[in-house]
Structure 1
Amino acid sequence: MPRFDWFPKTLLGRTLLFIALVVATGAAALAGIARYYAGVASERAYDQLLAGAAIQVAENLYAQGGVLALNPPVAALSTLSRYDLVYYRVVDSRGVVVAGYGDLPGPANTVNARQGPDFANGRYQGERVRTATIARYMPDVRPPGWAVVTVAQTTHARQQLTNDMSFKVWTLILLMSVLALGASGLAIRRGLRPLAQIGQIIAARDPSDLRPVVHDTPSEINALIGAINGLIGRLADRMTAMQRFIADAAHQMRTPIARLDAQIELLSTESDPARHAARLAALRATCSDVGRLTGQLLNHAMVIHRTEVVPLQPVDLAGLAREVLGRTIPLADERDVKVAFESTAPQVWIAGDPVSLQEALSNVLHNALLHGKADDIAVTLASTHDALTLSVTDNGPGIAREHWEAALLPFERLGHEGAERPPGSGLGLAIVQEVMKAHGGRVGFAFPPNGGFSVVLTFPPPVSDTLGPGAAPPPGGSVN
């Protein structure tokens, strides 16, 4: 890409440059038109004088003894010679030059001259000349016929008049162009003043002041103000969410860390082997909880970050579900877990972020295995024209209906009716909710008719038709 370092960097400079180009183009066009019409005007003015001189010469022709003679109109010729050199020639009906310059060129055809002055351009004695030719019928000469009068004038005065008129018009055009550019610059500066005021208002604000910008501006700037206020609103929402998340995370981390400190203190003073082993097991469980909480906090921040900066790409949701299911089942420890996977097609492509989708599906399976204590899990992927659903169904007790909405909030740990508060951070389903929002989908819950509990992830329709076995992914796609 070529760089145009000469191009103005400011909006004022760019606008003035554009206006200057338009004004210069218009001025050049007007200057050309003015030059043309100045030439036409001077041509017509001097042609009138030249025609008058030719007519007066023709009127002063007379017959003397049957021979054509001329009484030169000195006044008419002197009027022309005041500005230029003047030449004339008179030819009788026999084609003999009876007066004037014999070598002065005339028209080859005199038919038009019989109707009135016939004008032409030519050269004579190394000068450009303008000629006017007129014919007069002379019945008294021998033989009777048409006498042809040609009067020529050099074009210096015409050119001078054209130049004078052009210069005056060009001066006016130049003054108007300068005035237009000056007025445009002032108008643009005045029009851009509200933008400068908005810039000063925003620059003077405290970073913590995320109130909408309120300022009386022209209607053309309202869209910009609206976009700025929209950005400020999104930043305010994001900062509020992050501050709330940090506060909740600090609160959630404080309790297990305090428990760790207390358990370490008790363990260091315990002398009974049996009680020492029990306290050590409790310490290991607390360490596991802290690790799990830290991991989910980082995963939650990672999901939010990827939602904002990572573009979506084609993802085979069926292959991704199989992979995550294979990695998650070993977390069931010694339990014998029955797993089933069913899909309407071997490959189902969606536009998504594979890392975030893996995290979401892993959290759903973790909840079923670790909190739901399920030993029968079925993952079903169904595609229709309207939506794509990924259902994870287990035989655990599930979440009570009145808690479904709260289950998607961060740090909400919901126990089953009659059970104690479960371990964990309460971030699993909140992460799933964030991922589904980023993919234009939603999280739902259901109690199937044949028992159990289902977490249903609903996506928009697939980006393409399902592909058969062995088919290649779309261009740019990747299978994880």
Structure 2
Amino acid sequence: MPRFDWFPKTLFGRTLLFIALIVASGAATLAVVARYYAGVASERAYDQLLAGATIQAAEDLYVQGGVLAINPPVAALSTLSRYDLVYYKVVDSRGVVVAGYADLPSPASTVAARSGPQFANGTYQGQRIRTATLARYLPEERTPGWAVVTVAQTTHARQQLTNDMSFKVWTLILLMSVLAIGASGLAIRRGLRPLARIETIIAARDPADLRPVAADTPSEINAIVGAINGLIGRLAERMTAMQRFIADAAHQMRTPLARLDAQIELLSHERDPARYATRLDALRATCADVGRLAGQLLNHAMVIHRTEAVPLQRVELVGLAKEVLGRTIPLAGERDIKVAFDSDAPHAYIDGDPISLQEALSNVLHNALLHGKADDIVVAVAASNTVVTLTVTDNGRGIPREHWEAALRPFERLEQDGAARRTGSGLGLAIVQEVMKAHGGGIGFAFPVTGGFAVSLTFPRAIRGN
């Protein structure tokens, strides 16, 4: 790609350059048109004088003794000779030159000249000339017929008149062009003032000030202000969500870390071997809780980041679900887990982010294994013309209907078996919810008539694919 270093970098410069180019193009066109019409006008004016001189010369023809003669048309020719040389020629009915310059060309035909002066361009004695030819019938000649008068004038005066008129018009065009470009520059600067005012308002803002920009601007700039305010609003929402998430994360981490510190302190002073082993198991469990919570916090942040930064791509959901299922089931440890996979098509394509999708499906399976205490899991993929649905069905206790909405909110821990003790970090299904929003899909819960609990993830089907 060629670089145009000369091209203005500012909106003012680019707009003014565009207007200047348009004005210059128009001025050049007008200059050419003005030159043409100046030539036509001078041609017509001098043709009138040339025609008058030719008619006067034809009227001064007379016959004496049967021979054609002429009184030199001094008065008529003097009007043409101020700037130019004037030549004439008279030819009688026999074709004999009786007066003037015998070698003066007469391009017009006699037949055409009978109806009036006929004009033509030519060259005589090395100079460009304009000729007018007129025929007059003289029956008094020995051989009655048409006498032809040709009057020629060099074109210096015509050219001078054309140049004078062109110069005056060109001067006017130049002045109007300069005025138009200057006025356009002033108008552009005035029109850009609201943008400069908005720039000043935003530049003076504190980074923490995310209020909408309020400025009295023309309607054409309202769209820009609206876009800026929309961006500020989305940024404010994102910052609020991140601040809330950080605060919640700090609160959630504080409790297990304090419990961990207390358990370490108790363990360091324990001398009873049995109680030491019990406290050590509790410490291990707390460490596992802290590790799991930290991992889910990082995964939640990762999902939010990928939602905003990573473009979606074509993903084959059947293969991805099998892969995640194969990695997740070993987490059940020594429990005997029965697993089944079912799909109504060998392949099902969606537009998605593979990493976020793996995280979402892993969390659904973890909930079934670790919190639902399920030992029979079925993963099914069903595809229609418009959507692809992935359903995880287990034989665990599931989530009570009254808690379905709360289960999707971050850090909402559900009661276990009606007891006051709550389990988990409350981030698993919240991560799934974030992933589904990013993919334009949805998450749903159900208690199938065959028993158990089902979690369904519904995705729009890829535009390209099977």
Report the TM-score range of the alignment, normalised by the length of the smaller protein.
over 0.9
Structure-2 separation of matches of 1:415 and 1:392: 22
- Range 91-100 or range 107-116, more displaced: 107-116
Q: 1:72-87 to 2 correspondence within 5 Å?
A: 72-87=72-87
| Structure-1 residue corresponding to 2:158 | 158
TM-score by length of 1: 0.96
In structure 2, stretches of 5+ residues that fail to align are none
Offset of residue 109 of structure 1: 1.8
| Structure-1 residue corresponding to 2:218 | 218
Offset of residue 417 of structure 1: 4.1
Cα RMSD over matched residues?
1.0
Q: 1:61-140 to 2 correspondence within 5 Å?
A: 61-107=61-107, 109-140=109-140
Q: Partner amino acid for 1:232?
A: I
Does structure 1 conserve the Cα–Cα contact (< 8 Å) formed by 2:352 and 2:439? yes
Structure-2 separation of matches of 1:10 and 1:423: 60
Structure-1 separation of matches of 2:465 and 2:131: 86
Offset of residue 83 of structure 1: 2.0
Structure-2 separation of matches of 1:413 and 1:183: 69
Does structure 1 conserve the Cα–Cα contact (< 8 Å) formed by 2:66 and 2:142? yes
Does structure 2 conserve the Cα–Cα contact (< 8 Å) formed by 1:413 and 1:421? no
SS in 1 for 2:109: coil
| Structure-2 residue corresponding to 1:475 | none
- Range 378-387 or range 253-262, more displaced: 378-387
Structure-1 separation of matches of 2:260 and 2:225: 52
Q: 1:274-293 to 2 correspondence within 5 Å?
A: 274-293=274-293
SS in 1 for 2:303: helix
Does structure 1 conserve the Cα–Cα contact (< 8 Å) formed by 2:356 and 2:435? yes
Does structure 2 conserve the Cα–Cα contact (< 8 Å) formed by 1:400 and 1:416? no
Q: 1:23-422 to 2 correspondence within 5 Å?
A: 23-107=23-107, 109-422=109-422
Does structure 2 conserve the Cα–Cα contact (< 8 Å) formed by 1:289 and 1:423? no
Structure-1 separation of matches of 2:420 and 2:108: 124
**How big is each residue's C-alpha offset from its partner over 1:271-321, in whole Å with a ceiling of 9 and x where there is no partner?**
111111111111111111110000000000000000001111111111111
Identity of aligned residues (%): 81
- Range 446-455 or range 162-171, more displaced: 446-455
Structure-1 separation of matches of 2:82 and 2:216: 70
Does structure 2 conserve the Cα–Cα contact (< 8 Å) formed by 1:380 and 1:390? yes
Structure-2 separation of matches of 1:55 and 1:121: 18
- Range 379-388 or range 85-94, more displaced: 379-388
Structure-2 separation of matches of 1:141 and 1:159: 40
Offset of residue 419 of structure 1: 3.2
Q: Partner amino acid for 2:365?
A: L
Does structure 2 conserve the Cα–Cα contact (< 8 Å) formed by 1:397 and 1:416? no
| Structure-2 residue corresponding to 1:472 | none
Q: Partner amino acid for 2:430?
A: A
Offset of residue 438 of structure 1: 0.4
Structure-2 separation of matches of 1:12 and 1:386: 49
Does structure 1 conserve the Cα–Cα contact (< 8 Å) formed by 2:349 and 2:461? no
Offset of residue 451 of structure 1: 1.0
| Structure-1 residue corresponding to 2:442 | 442
TM-score by length of 2: 0.99
Offset of residue 424 of structure 1: 2.1
Offset of residue 68 of structure 1: 0.5
Structure-1 separation of matches of 2:129 and 2:464: 82
Structure-2 separation of matches of 1:78 and 1:327: 114
SS in 1 for 2:280: helix
**How big is each residue's C-alpha offset from its partner over 1:164-216, in whole Å with a ceiling of 9 and x where there is no partner?**
00000000000010011011111111111111101111111111111111111
| Structure-2 residue corresponding to 1:12 | 12
**How big is each residue's C-alpha offset from its partner over 1:313-344, in whole Å with a ceiling of 9 and x where there is no partner?**
11111111111111111111111011111111
Q: Partner amino acid for 2:91?
A: V
Offset of residue 385 of structure 1: 2.3
How many pairs were matched up?
A: 466
Does structure 1 conserve the Cα–Cα contact (< 8 Å) formed by 2:389 and 2:456? yes
- Range 377-386 or range 269-278, more displaced: 377-386
Q: Partner amino acid for 1:293?
A: L
Structure-2 separation of matches of 1:194 and 1:140: 90
| Structure-1 residue corresponding to 2:432 | 432
Does structure 2 conserve the Cα–Cα contact (< 8 Å) formed by 1:380 and 1:392? yes
Does structure 2 conserve the Cα–Cα contact (< 8 Å) formed by 1:57 and 1:73? yes
Q: Which runs of 4+ in 1 moved over 6 A?
A: none
Structure-2 separation of matches of 1:19 and 1:80: 46
Structure-1 separation of matches of 2:373 and 2:150: 122
